[in-house]
Structure 1
Amino acid sequence: MALNTSADAPIPVGQVSRLIGGWIDRLGSVWVEGQITQLSRRPGAGVVFLTLRDPSHDISLSVTCYRVVFDRVADVISEGARVVVHAKPEWYAPRGQLSLRAAEIKPVGVGELLARLEQLKKSLAAEGLFALDRKRPLPFLPQLVGLVCGRASAAERDVLENARHRWPAVRFEVRNVAVQGVRAVPQVIGAVEELDAHPDVDVIVVARGGGSVEDLLPFSDEQLIRTVSACRTPVVSAIGHEPDTPLLDLVADLRASTPTDAAKKVVPDVGEELVRIRQLRERALRTVTGLLDREERGLAAARHRPCMERPQRMVEEREEQIDALLGRSRRTLGHLLDRADSELSHTRARVVALSPAATLERGYAVLQRADGAVVRAADEVSADEKLRARVAEGEFSVRVTP
């Protein structure tokens, strides 16, 4: 709608801005394709700011969207990615600025593939197929290695040559399959299941020599992932090179960065093992030698003890102690006997001195009545009573006179 304006009758800038905003509002939502040149995600903010650029015309537009919209594709897009945005044009009248309010963002080309893979990855991870506690350790020295790879491929050559260089006795059970295209998934699954059922296969290696994202898609197939997860035999994934990360790397028991790296991780190096064995033997020899030296020194120290050099010395020392104890016991017993004899002599002398016989020997006599009672007082006898007198040398009869 044309406006009637002239140099004499202009309209204000604000009115022009409002009119532009009205025209833009009538556009409604549109799908826009472009390349992300700037991306701003402020921590805690609920809105994400992007700059969408058209490389062919060098034109850029500001895009805003809620964080919940951006988080759906945050894992697969970054600055430089091509995207398709479903957005509504908005006009900010105070600044006269045009922007887009995005309601949906979709990656384009490889980004779309990565988005689907990311969604499958989250789904399988939620089921626990990538859990670390499901990983099984590889055998130290596998007797038979199962190898799934392309026919006459560089990956097959790298695995076989490096493994046999490290351990010449290693044996391989090789299954050549298509490693890209529509036949890749069923052939790889069949080879893995066949090797897993083989009773002598100790570990399975799935190898491919890298490629584009599209080429590696078979190794992110959900059916293949579930087949590897159900294997009883440990599986090593050696797909591509260091930056390549198909989903097979996550479900396998061990991820190798390259087929050569897989060969190094599956079998030990015979040279390194010989060096390790030699070191262990030297360590064991040092340990045993040290133990023998310590025991020899202990034995020598024991032999140089006085009791071991002259065992009779202990007998001699004990003999001297016994002689000393015997002498001491004899002296002690002699002293005891002498003291007992002296005490006995003194006791005997006291007994003799205090005995009635000694008193009689000094001229005393003991008068006894006819009934044997000893006369102790004069009034105990009567006149003409006959008494018996005992002296030191015998006895005789006496009569009491008035």
Structure 2
Amino acid sequence: MARLETSAESPVPVRVVALRVGEWIARLGEIWVDGQIAQLTRRPGVATQFLTLRDPDANISMSVTCPRGVLPDTVSEGSRVVLRARPDFYLERGTLSLRALEVRQVGLGELLARLDALRRLLAAEGLFAPQLKRPLPFLPHTVGLITGRASAAERDVIDNARRRLPGARFRIENVAMQGTNAVSEVIDAIARLEKDPAVQVIVIARGGGSVEDLLPFSNESLVRAVAAAFTPVVSAIGHETDVPLLDLVADVAASTPTDAAKRVVPDLADELREVAALRERARARIHARLDREAELMAGLPERLRRTVRGRLVRESDDVATARARSRRRIESLLEAGRAELGHVRAQIRTLSPQATLERGYAVVRRADGTVVRTPDEAVGALHVRVAEGEFDATRT
């Protein structure tokens, strides 16, 4: 298809643009489309019926016209269908719609097969991994509750939570919990609660229903929104036997809305009983310790007396032993000193000049005091010293 050459000076009429768009759309031919019926208008006796087909995972819809006999009687609003259609572009209004040639309602078995395939795909991506689960706060400041307006699930959560913890605070987001708008409204509610810093846990609660009623809570967009949330999410959808994909991605999967209330707030009565029990155990342990210490203190003076007396006796014995040892050591040293002194005295006496004189030797000096060592030196007056005294002599 040739491109239109246009400018501000040579624009093309609206009809030309509409015709070119219609030609391009007509080239699509027949296509198979999967969607959910959001709105259905049945008019008896009218050859054409009109419905709105909505994308299950996005807030996008298209108008569909169905000739008589194409739309099965079992199809109703909320039904999941697959249809064979041809795109139509209405030139007069510039709108796009689908003209259905064949409509098939998706059966329960096919829905479950699609859900199982989606479950395996998300599990392979790791969205259900246990390590991603976040613990719930022990005492949340505010509980965010996403549920239907004036629903039994809302009453169950609030009544049971406040029965356990009077004064529990909630921020409630009432949204559609089934039908074509449920997914987008729940996702928007999660986003609003995420922006509130007081909300520390989010509960998504709905009562039981058919597989078709609970399909929004297995929607891929909703599952990914919960996986991306920063606030811990509790899933409380349906009964205990219902397991939507939301249960697998949520941080905690409660079996019922009542069970969710028990998970998000503590039981004040149980906590008070636990505190009382802990206080009583602490008191008992303190009293037992005081009793043991009292018993120890009662016998302490006598034990100290025996200990001190025994210590003094041992120290006295040690002092006496050390004194005797010191005395023996000193006497030994004195005796050795006396013996050494006698030996030295004897040596000195033996080596002294007096001892030499006593052996018969004499010391002869001349008048000038010099000692005579040779006979030639013995001349003139001499002075002789012997052992018993001194005398003068003259050599002749």
Residue type at the aligned position of 1:142 = P
Q: Does the 8 Å CA contact 2:142/2:170 hold for their aligned counterparts?
A: yes
Normalised by the length of structure 1, the TM-score is: 0.60
CA distances 1:67-122 after superposition (whole Å, capped 9, x unpaired): xxxxxxxxxxxxxxxxxxxxxxxxxxxxxxxxxxxxxxxx9721011122223223
Per the alignment, residue 95 of structure 2 pairs with: none
Q: 1:390 aligns with which of 385, 388, 393?
A: 385
Determine helix, strand or coil for the equivalent of 2:199: coil
RMSD: 3.7
Q: 1:238 to 1:365 in 2, by over 3 A?
A: closer
Q: Corresponding residue for 2:228?
A: 230
The 5 A counterparts of 1:30-69 are none
Residue 267 of structure 1, aligned match among 262, 265, 274: 265
Which 10-residue stretch deviates more, 203-212 or 390-399?
390-399
For the pair 1:196 / 2:191, whether they are aligned, the reply is no
Structure 1 398/343 Cα, relative in aligned 2: closer, same or farther at 3 Å? Answer: farther
Distance in 1, Cα, partners of 2:166 & 2:245: 32
Please name the residue that 1:279 is paired with.
Answer: 277
Amino acid of the structure 2 residue aligned with 1:239:
I
SS of aligned partner of 2:393: strand
Structure-2 separation of matches of 1:194 and 1:201 = 10
Alignment correspondent of 1:399: 395
Any stretches of 5+ residues in structure 2 without a counterpart? 1-104
- Which digits, 9 at most, give the CA deviation of each residue in 1:22-41, with x for residues without a partner? xxxxxxxxxxxxxxxxxxxx
Aligned-partner SS, 1:130: coil
Listed as ranges, the matches of 1:167-186 within 5 Å are 167-186=165-184
Alpha carbons of 1:136 and 1:373: their partners in 2 closer, same or farther (altered >3 Å)?
A: same
Q: Residues 273-296 of structure 1: CA distance to partner in whole angstroms, max 9, x if unpaired?
A: 222222322333344445555655
Q: CA distance change for structure 1 residues 327 and 265 in 2, over 3 Å: closer, same or farther?
A: same
Aligned pair count? Answer: 289
* Contact preservation (8 Å) 2:372, 2:378: no
Q: Contact 1:163–1:170 at 8 Å: present in 2 too?
A: yes
What SS does the corresponding residue of 1:157 show, helix, strand or coil? helix
Q: Which amino acid is the alignment partner of residue 384 of structure 2?
A: A
* Structure-1 residue corresponding to 2:247: 249
| Cα distance in 2 for residues equivalent to 1:266 and 1:153 | 19
DSSP 3-state at the match of 1:202: strand
- CA distance in 2 between counterparts of 1:356 and 1:222 reads 131
Preserved CA contact (<8 Å) 1:389 1:398 = no
Question: C-alpha separation between the residues in 1 aligned to 2:215 and 2:124?
Answer: 21
Deviation of 1:315 after TM superposition, in Å, equals 6.1
C-alpha change, 1:184 and 1:309, in structure 2 (3 Å) is same
Provide closer, same or farther for how the CA distance between residues 275 and 385 of structure 1 changes in structure 2, counting only shifts above 3 A: same
Give 1:1-400 correspondences, 5 Å limit.
109-289=107-287, 291-292=289-290, 303-306=301-304, 311=308, 318=315, 321-322=318-319, 325-326=322-323, 329-330=326-327, 332-334=329-331, 336-337=333-334, 340-341=337-338, 344=341, 348=345, 357=354, 364=360, 366=362, 368=364, 370=366, 371-374=370-373, 380=375, 388-391=383-386, 392-400=388-396
Distance (Å, rounded) in 1 between the aligned partners of 2:371 and 2:178: 152
Partner residue in 1 for 2:93: none
SS at match of 1:284: helix
- Cα distance in 1 between the residues matched to 2:118 and 2:173: 28
Bigger drift between 215-224 and 256-265 goes to 215-224
Q: In structure 2, give the amino acid aligned to 1:216.
A: L
Shift of 1:224: 2.1
Letter in 1 for 2:157: V
DSSP-derived class of the 1:236 partner? strand
For residue 187 of structure 1, report the CA deviation from its aligned partner.
2.7
| 1-structure distance, mates of 2:336, 2:116 | 115
- Offset of residue 324 of structure 1: 5.6
Stretches of structure 1 lacking an aligned partner (at least 5 in a row): 1-106
| Secondary structure, aligned partner of 1:182 | coil
Change (3 A) 1:340 1:222: closer
Aligned residues of 2:379 and 2:394 also touching (Cα < 8 A) = no
Q: Secondary structure, in 3 states, of the residue corresponding to 1:155?
A: helix
Residue 396 of structure 1: how far off its partner (Å): 1.8
* Code of the aligned partner of 1:111: G
Report the Cα offset of residue 390 of structure 1: 2.3
Asked if 2 retains the 8 angstrom alpha-carbon contact of 1:367 and 1:374, the reply is no
Contact 1:367 1:387 in 2 (8 A): no
TM-score (norm 2): 0.61
Deviation at 1:197, TM superposition (A): 2.1
Cα distance in 1 for partners of 2:361, 2:216 equals: 151
Offset of residue 321 of structure 1: 4.7
Q: How far is 1:162 from its partner?
A: 1.6
Q: Which secondary structure does the structure 2 equivalent of 1:152 belong to?
A: coil
- Distance change >3 Å, CA 397–CA 277, structure 1 → 2: same
1-structure distance, mates of 2:315, 2:242: 88
Deviations 1:3-24 (A, max 9, x none): xxxxxxxxxxxxxxxxxxxxxx
1:305, 1:281 → 2: CA distance? Answer: 35
